[in-house]
Structure formats: C-alpha cells, structure tokens
C-alpha cells in the first residue's frame, strides 16, 4: 500500500518495543463487541490507474462548462484563472501545512493572509477584513449573528434580492437562536421597499448588490435609514468581480460586507469549496467572527505576522466565542490573493469593466428578441430576462443542444409561479461573441 511506509518487519519491531502482542492489543479499550473481525463491505485497496479510471469515468458523465456556450451565474461564476494560480497553490509549503499556530515557521501563510485581508478591505471599501469564512452564505449568516450581538436586538430583515441560499442559511441559523428572520418576497423588479420596514427592533437589514436578479442599487439612503434607527446594514456581494466596476458597499455606508470570493481564483467545482469574505468597520473588530492575522515584530525587531485577537475565538472562549468557526478557507484565500495580485489595480478594474461591457452587449441583444423582455436597467454582468415561456424546460432543451443558457429562477424559487418565466443570464470574460450569437439564436429558436 503506497501511502503506508511501515513494513511487516517495522510493525513487529514497534510492537515489541511497546510490549504488545499485536495491533489488536492496542485496541483493547474498545469494547470487544465493537471491534470488527474482518474488513467492512467495501472494495479492497486499488492502484493509481484503477482509481483514476473509475473516478475519471464519473467525471466523464458530466458536461463541463467549457464544452460549449455557458451563461450560468446566480452566486457562482465561470472566470478565467491564470495558470500561475493553480501552480502556486499546489506548492507543498502551502498545500500541506496547517493553520499557522507556530508563526515562526508559518510566515508564508500568515503574510498572504495579511495581504488577503488588505485586499478584501480595499475592494469592499471597508476598514478591516478577516482571514475568510466558508462561503458567501455562511459569511452572511455570521454577519447577521454579529449584528444581533452588536445591536442586542432580535430581528433581521432579509431582502428579496438576496440569494435564496444566503437567505435560507441565515434563516436556518436564526431559527435555532430564537431570533427572527423576516424574509421579504423575491424581488425580481428591484423595487422593494425596505426603508419602511426598519423599526427600533431591527438589528440589521441584509441586501445583496448586485441583487440575485442583477439589479444594482445605491444603498446610501438605506444605510442612513438603518443608522437612524440604530440598525446595521449588511451588504452581500455574490459576484466579487463587480467590485472592480461598481461603487463598493463601504462607500455607500455598509456596516458589514460579506462576499462570495469564488470568482477570483477558484473554479466552479460544482459549488465548493468556495471562499467567504467578511469585512467591517474597525469599531466592530472585537465582535468579528473568524481568524484574524495581524502584524507584529519578532525578538530581533523584524516584521512578522501572527494570528491575533483570538480571545474572540472558540479555542479560548469556548461557549462564549463570537463563532464556532475553526478552519477558514486558507488555500482558497491564497488562490484569491494570488489571482488578485496578478490582476492588480489595472487588471481588476479592466476585468470588471470587460465583464460589464460584454454583459451589456448580450443584454441588449437578448432583450431585443421577440417576446423577451430585459428586467434590468442597471446591472453588472448578470441580468434577468422575462421569457414568453417557462424558463426551465427551455434551459433543459438548450442544454441538449449544447448551450447552457443560464439559471431559470424556478430552480431557486420552484413555488413562485411569478418567476417561472424568468431566466438569469451571466456573461463573463470567458464568453466570446460567438457564444452570445449562439445563445441568442438558441433562445430565439426555442421560443
């Protein structure tokens, strides 16, 4: 067995040193009735070729996004990942190290976390960011829990423009804390009235920008209304590339910004692992969840980095911790950090504008198809089309023709008949103009 260095002889020598007759003797604390006498009913060990063949066969049953025109988004986006990113994250020193508990021999991890926190704070327009959480939805739930702690109130208002997975993740968390989540109905038009719902019991309002349906809103007056009533404004960003072109939440008065970082450096990977970004104001620092990396000096006066403010965390505070989180998404944060470093200011802003212009072209084209209506005026790289027919069967039919046309809203809201004809279309730098031509032709042909 290629992963096990001990030989039969080694095992005998070691057992002799221990003074045990056999391996089973080392398991003597296990009740005899629970000790298996034979291997469980699963296949025996296999070589690389056999495993590769079998798992490769499963992969081959799927239709990879890159096999044809592809326009899916709704919280996960297909962007080009520079080759250097995947090479660098597979360096042994990054891939096979643990959480940096011994900072003297983990400066590599700690420094990139510091750079990552700096990048996240800058692009969101916030003062501080943590070293990452699991994904956008869990980051959103952590943000709401933090808002409840900060305000000592019990109600969270969740916009109808917020991704339903984020809404459900928040609602699930709150349902176990006897806190209240007010889930507003799906807001396809972007005309939802949040201001009138904020009252002195409101801990926070959670909105997404751009919304699930693609609408971009100026959140300044909403932020003001929240602050007037002592509530926090939480802004979720499910397409982080948008921050290269759209005014960031921090500049519109957000108190907490959470984002899905997948778009920068991470493959679609059927939904995970992704990367939760979390940024806030400095005054809430000690209420933040998750790991934080901070700058300090070593005994020789050289700059170095450590995990810090751990008095918030579960391994110190146990049941009084700000969160139960332990693992963050270190390697995903590294991929994000490398990709954004490669992009730099010029590349990031250009990438964002490129996405937007391509999407704008596609929106104009598709919105002009007979019977099709574009629901958005302002959007980033994703927009909603109202079709004259239900979207899901059309998407299925186009998939059979090799075009993955978008996400039918009924996939996310199967019980909302008003959304049945809506199709969410995302366009990124990976889409060629030929892709857009094929999509337009396919939709026109399918109606």
First to last CA, the chain: 57
Q: What gap in Å lies between CA 65 and CA 404, rounded to an integer?
A: 8
Q: Which of 163, 204, 366, 372 forms a contact with other proteins (CB under 8 A)?
A: 163
HSE at residue 69, side-chain half, CA atoms within 13 A, is 25
Among the residue ranges 147-155, 192-200, 222-230, 391-399, the one whose residues contact other proteins (CB under 8 A):
391-399
CB of 208 to other proteins, least distance (A): 12
Q: Which of 212, 231, 240, 243 forms a contact with other proteins (CB under 8 A)?
A: 243
40 is a contact residue toward other proteins (CB under 8 A): yes
Footprint (CB under 8 A) of other proteins, residues 65-84: 65-66, 70, 72, 74-76, 78, 82, 84
162 is a contact residue toward other proteins (CB under 8 A): no
Q: Which of 230, 272, 390, 446 forms a contact with other proteins (CB under 8 A)?
A: 272
319 is a contact residue toward other proteins (CB under 8 A): yes
330 is a contact residue toward other proteins (CB under 8 A): yes
**Other CB atoms closer than 10 Å to residue 154's CB: what's the count?**
14
Q: What gap in Å lies between CA 113 and CA 103, rounded to an integer?
A: 12
Among the residue ranges 34-42, 152-160, 194-202, 221-229, the one whose residues contact other proteins (CB under 8 A):
34-42
Among the residue ranges 152-160, 198-206, 412-420, 437-445, the one whose residues contact other proteins (CB under 8 A):
412-420
DSSP tag of 65: G
Q: Which of 229, 233, 287, 357 forms a contact with other proteins (CB under 8 A)?
A: 357
245 is a contact residue toward other proteins (CB under 8 A): yes
Token look-up 């992969």 returns: 59
Among the residue ranges 147-155, 175-183, 200-208, 221-229, the one whose residues contact other proteins (CB under 8 A):
175-183
Chain CA centroid to CA 153, Å: 27
Footprint (CB under 8 A) of other proteins, residues 192-221: 215-218
Q: What gap in Å lies between CA 276 and CA 111, rounded to an integer?
A: 19
CB 248 within 8 A of CB 123: yes
Q: What gap in Å lies between CA 143 and CA 159, rounded to an integer?
A: 15
438 is a contact residue toward other proteins (CB under 8 A): no
Q: Output the DSSP codes for 165-195.
A: HHHHHHHHHHHTTT-EEEEPPP-SSS----G
Footprint (CB under 8 A) of other proteins, residues 89-148: 89-109, 111-112, 114-115, 117-119, 121-123, 125, 128-129, 131-132, 134-138, 145
**Following CA atoms 185, 187, 193, 197 in sequence, which dihedral angle do they give, to the nearest 10 degrees?**
30
């Amino acid at each position: 067995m290629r992963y096990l260095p001990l030989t039969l002889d080694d095992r005998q020598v070691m057992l002799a040193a221990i003074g045990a007759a056999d391996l089973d003797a080392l398991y003597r604390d296990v009740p005899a009735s629970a000790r298996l006498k034979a291997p469980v009913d699963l296949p025996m060990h296999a070589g690389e070729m056999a495993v590769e063949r079998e798992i490769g066969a499963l992969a081959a049953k799927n239709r990879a996004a890159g096999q044809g025109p592809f326009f899916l988004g709704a919280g996960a986006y297909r962007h080009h990942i520079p080759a250097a990113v995947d090479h660098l994250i597979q360096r042994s020193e990054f891939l096979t190290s643990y959480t940096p508990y011994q900072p003297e021999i983990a400066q590599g991890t700690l420094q990139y976390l510091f750079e990552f926190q700096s990048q996240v704070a800058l692009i969101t327009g916030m003062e501080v960011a943590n070293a990452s959480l699991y994904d956008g939805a869990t980051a959103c739930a952590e943000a709401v829990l933090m808002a409840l702690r900060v305000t000592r109130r019990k109600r969270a208002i969740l916009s109808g423009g917020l991704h339903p997975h984020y809404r459900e993740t928040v609602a699930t968390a709150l349902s176990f804390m006897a806190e209240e989540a007010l889930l507003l109905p799906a807001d396809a038009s972007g005309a939802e009235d949040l201001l009138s719902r904020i009252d002195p019991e409101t801990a926070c309002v959670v909105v997404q920008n751009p919304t699930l349906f693609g609408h971009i809103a100026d959140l300044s007056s909403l932020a003001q209304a929240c602050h007037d009533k002592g509530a926090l404004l939480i802004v979720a960003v499910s397409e982080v590339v948008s921050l290269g072109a759209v005014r960031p939440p921090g500049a519109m008065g957000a108190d907490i910004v959470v984002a899905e970082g997948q778009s920068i450096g991470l493959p679609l990977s059927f939904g995970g692992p992704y990367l939760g970004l979390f940024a806030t104001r400095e005054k809430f620092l000690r209420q933040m969840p998750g790991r934080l990396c901070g700058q300090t000096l070593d005994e020789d006066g050289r700059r170095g980095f450590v995990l810090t403010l751990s008095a918030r965390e579960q391994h110190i505070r146990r049941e009084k911790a700000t969160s139960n989180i332990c693992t963050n998404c270190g390697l995903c944060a590294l991929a994000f950090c490398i990709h954004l470093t490669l992009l730099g200011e010029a590349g990031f802003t250009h990438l964002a504008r490129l996405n937007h212009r391509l999407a704008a072209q596609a929106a104009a084209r598709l919105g002009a198809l007979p019977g099709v209506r574009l629901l958005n005026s302002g959007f980033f790289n994703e927009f909603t089309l109202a079709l004259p027919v239900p979207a899901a069967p059309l998407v299925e039919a186009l998939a059979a023709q090799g075009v993955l046309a978008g996400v039918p809203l009924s996939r996310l809201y199967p019980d909302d008949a008003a959304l049945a004809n809506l199709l969410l279309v995302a366009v990124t730098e990976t889409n060629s103009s030929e892709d857009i031509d094929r999509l337009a032709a396919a939709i026109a042909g399918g109606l």
